[in-house]
Amino acid sequence: MELGLVGLGKMGGNMRERIRRAGHTVVGYDRNPDLADVHSLKELVDSLKGPRVVWVMVPAGAATQSTIDELGELLSPGDVVVDGGNSRWTDDEKHAEELKAKGIGFVDCGVSGGVWGLENGYALMYGGAADDVAKVQPVFDALKPEGDFGSVHAGKVGAGHFAKMVHNGIEYAMMQAYAEGWELLEKVDSVTDVREVFRSWQQGTVIRSWLLDLAVNALDDDEHLDKLRGYAADSGEGRWTVEAAIDNAVPLPAITASLFARFASRQDDSPQMKMIAALRNQFGGHAVENAKK
């Protein structure tokens, strides 16, 4: 099939390549002309045959809103817009209503896989009407990991980003647990090789995971994480998860505590946040801050 893809950064550029490897045609647009196949959204839309599918992969908020607004003026009834960024699920509901008034379908898709997705595939969680999802299905199949799992039609519009938001909240808590354990091991005199303790956990233990593998990668690069400042940003989805928990009276003590620990990193150089920063850099290519001299 043909796909228009808006936003060719770390995620979008690799997604374009993976979809092309599956035999589909991708026409990409980015504000950076060195990355783009076309040089405007109008040119992108005009280059696709109907019914068109345009996948938006730009930052949540104003950038997504302005892109969807412009696509709403360019696309035709029967076309579909996919928001694959990290938008809030309540924005999805708004965008779906705005496009529905023009006869344009809308699908929201939470995407996980970071900088490793090109080779390993992306975990996909999408929401929307079955007819709209069906128009995008070949792309979902191209992006997902090999095997029977790794993608899910999570429900109606907003369900995909809500599921991805909860995924990221769980990710916060898992990273925090590894970071706390790492700091405690580093603190005591009796443990003389913390990196190898982490490595030993990769086989046969109940806490083995891809995040643990990435922690070992980070420790191989910098055994005591001395090069990193103990600061870790939050992308917003952890906050949204906690807010949704409050709205629905669901207790989330571990996820909430892990979010607050990120805030603590803004106040001083936290050893735990060195591990959080290292893990975020490993799986998502997120920027890190160097330790102060």
The residues carrying an active-site annotation are 164, 171
Residues in the chain: 293
Of 112, 235, 233, 130, the closest CA to residue 167 belongs to 112
DSSP3 helix / strand / coil % (the chain, rounded to 5): 50, 15, 35
Task: Work out the burial of residue 290: count CB atoms within 10 Å of its CB; fewer than 13 is exposed, 13-18 middle, 19 or more buried.
Answer: exposed
Of 197, 85, 82, 69, the closest CA to residue 128 belongs to 82
- Give the separation between CA 289 and CA 69, rounded to whole angstroms: 36
Q: Are strands 105-112 and 123-127 parallel, antiparallel or unpaired?
A: antiparallel
Of 139, 121, 127, the closest CA to residue 54 belongs to 139
- Give the separation between CA 136 and CA 265, rounded to whole angstroms: 41
